[in-house]
Amino acid sequence: MASRIYFDHSATTPIDPRVMVAMEPFLNGSFGNPSSLHREGRKARAAVEKARAQVAALLGADSSEIVFTGSGTEADNLAILGAVPANDGPSHVVTSSIEHAGVLEPCRFLERFGTKVTYLPVDNYGMVDPQSLHRALCAETRLVSVMAANNVIGTLQPLAELARITKQHGALFHTDAIQAAGKIPLDVNQLPADLISLSAHKLHGPKGVGVLYVRRGVELNPIVFGGGQERGLRSATENVAGIVGFGAAAALAREEMKEETTQLVGLRERILARLRVTVPHAYLIGHPVKRLPGHLCLGFKGLEGEVLKILLGLDEKGVAVSSGSACSAHHAGNPSEILLAMGFDPERARGSLRVTLGRFSTDDEVNRFLEILPRVLDSLKPAGNRREQPLNVEIGETQAAG
């Protein structure tokens, strides 16, 4: 029996075996508390600091600018609520209309306490226009938060320009780079971001550990209180094994990013090229070029309302994909807020299939996927009165309106 095909790497990635090797001593034997002064504690502290340096190197940052958290979502919350506390006087936050819930929910929380929040629109590629940010800024703007890469459609934002406009205005700039880190270069010496969120399990590290990069000189208020770990910004005994795993995963991503990107883009483009022939009613969602290397978001003309059946049909055949963000799976029957923001009508906004490749994806898996997907789609018999639109990586102008 053929092994299952895992094409849902934007939800989570399998832990790299080399990361597991790095973590193992701290799961079995080296159990010290990094705050303890004895030998076991010092060993744990040294491991945490090595990992801090490894994550910092991925961003071109200094180790002192890395704060470990319990997740990427917690890092997002710390960035937003730490920079703009509730009930802290007149304030304004700018974000995009297609952010992850880890950003949108703390923004909505702040709105309940009087903070004004502007949600920037996106075009039909899912991209923010830097001029819309420029127009949104005002005297009370304290923070701008725009994600580096969207978790559903894979579109990359014009991050450097957005950060530059924000800094010229004098506000702080935060980016949720949880999907992007380890997949595209992020260098804080070139990107004027003040705050960057990361998560280990998106780059072949363990779940349950995140990072917030905090540029030197930026002041934040903690949202977790206790013993003062992580420079007082994240009190709690450190998850040593998880942090070690994050460090190892970051080091591998830094070393192998260029080669891995080439591999993933090649596999991605091969899928697109073949689907143009075998699935003429498929279309690409998101930017055709400015997208994550292993990320595809697909729609199927006439089958948008059947995406759950497509997903389950693929699952039955041994292929794991998703219909959007794993964090929104409990709203799977609802139109995607991201696709609605891009101009899709409610019917088409229900119907995207996210196919995301990773480090261990193979040519054989792609070949098998390309055989299985058309069979699953054919079994659903798209309505004959639907206009077919070939998959074309240059169809961005028509994808939302079609």
Whether 285 contacts 298, CB under 8 Å: yes
Closest Cα to residue 209, out of 258, 244, 163, 157? 244
Token pair belonging to 326: 């794993």
In three-state form (DSSP H/G/I as H, E/B as E, the rest C), the secondary structure along 48-63 is HHHHHHHHHHHHCCCH
CA distance 164 to 162: 5
107, 138, 297, 327: which is the annotated catalytic residue?
327
CA distance 103 to 145: 8
Whether 115 contacts 86, CB under 8 Å: yes
Closest Cα to residue 75, out of 156, 161, 166, 193? 193
CA distance 161 to 129: 10
Please identify which residue in the block is written with the tokens 């709203």.
331
The β-bridge partners of 211 are 68, 198
> Does 107 participate in catalysis according to the annotation?
no
Q: Which residues are catalytic?
A: 327
